[in-house]
Amino acid sequence: MKIIMLGAPGAGKGTQAKMIADKYGVPHISTGDIFRANIKNGTELGMEAKKYMDQGLLVPDELTVKILLDRVANDDCKNGYVLDGFPRTIPQAEVLDNALNELGDKIDFAINVDVPDENIINRMSGRRACLSCGATYHIEHIPPKAEGICDRCGKELILRDDDKPETVKNRLGVYHEQTQPLIDFYEKKGVLKSVDGTIPMEDVFQAIVNILGE
């Protein structure tokens, strides 16, 4: 069972990817994690990727897919995997598709966690973080006992720059321009399944399980 997770930043797709991986006993694969592991281990592909990253350049799609295919060739992926954060663009999806086709393989499901922009902006701008101990809160869903103060260490909580409404709007703009077209791409291939990401997290997961099967 080979799954791609789609959804806007803050839609909760990373959380769902981890839950799917746990339930079905398959790896949750994030391209960021694979890059870091290859660079740390000094692999040939990792060193090639590092050349681009050190110059502040994006790693070319072909190299990213090579690193990804190298990862999914491991034994722990024999029953499938959940891809989180890749592909992000149509060219990346096409390169991945062609590479899998050559191996006689394909993506089984593209799960889109669908959340309106307005909900995402509210959700992310309500986040608060403690820079001292790393604890995170949400002013509506997981509020601290005392407003603006971390329960764990008593230090001040902040709204991170990444979670400020104007930053979130910019990230959503990039998502709609680059990544949302993937929804049409996978729909045409007949593998797209959308779930309502505005309902409670456990219910989103149950909707995904209903699609994938027990």
88 flagged as catalytic: yes
Instruction: Provide the CA 29 distance to its chain's centre, in angstroms.
Output: 9
- Out of 50, 164, 171, 193, the active site residue is 171
Q: Which of 2, 66, 123, 127 is catalytic?
A: 127
Assess whether 36 carries a catalytic annotation.
no
Q: Is 127 a catalytic residue?
A: yes
User: If we measure between CA atoms, which residue out of 167, 132, 169, 123 comes closest to residue 151?
Assistant: 132
- Told to judge if 189 belongs to the known catalytic residues of this protein, a careful annotator would answer no
Q: Please list the alpha-helical segments (H only) found in the chain.
A: 13-24, 31-40, 44-54, 61-72, 90-102, 117-125, 165-174, 181-188, 201-212
Residue 17 tokens, joined = 């990817």
Q: Count CA within 13 A, CB hemisphere, residue 178.
A: 15
Tokens matching residue 104 = 């006689």
User: What is the CA 193 to chain-centroid distance, rounded?
Assistant: 16
User: What is the DSSP secondary structure assignment for residue 128, as one 8-state letter?
Assistant: E
Sorted by sequence, the CB contacts under 8 Å of residue 81 that are 6+ apart come out as 2, 3, 21, 26, 27, 28, 29, 72
Is 66 assigned a catalytic role? no
Catalytic residue among 23, 36, 152, 160: 160
Residue among 2, 66, 71, 88 flagged as catalytic? 88
The token pair at 83 is 């891809």
Q: Tokens representing 201?
A: 């997290």
Of the residues 13, 66, 123, 128, which is catalytic?
13
Task: Confirm if 39 and 50 have CB atoms less than 8 A apart.
Answer: yes
Residues recognised as catalytic:
13, 88, 127, 160, 171
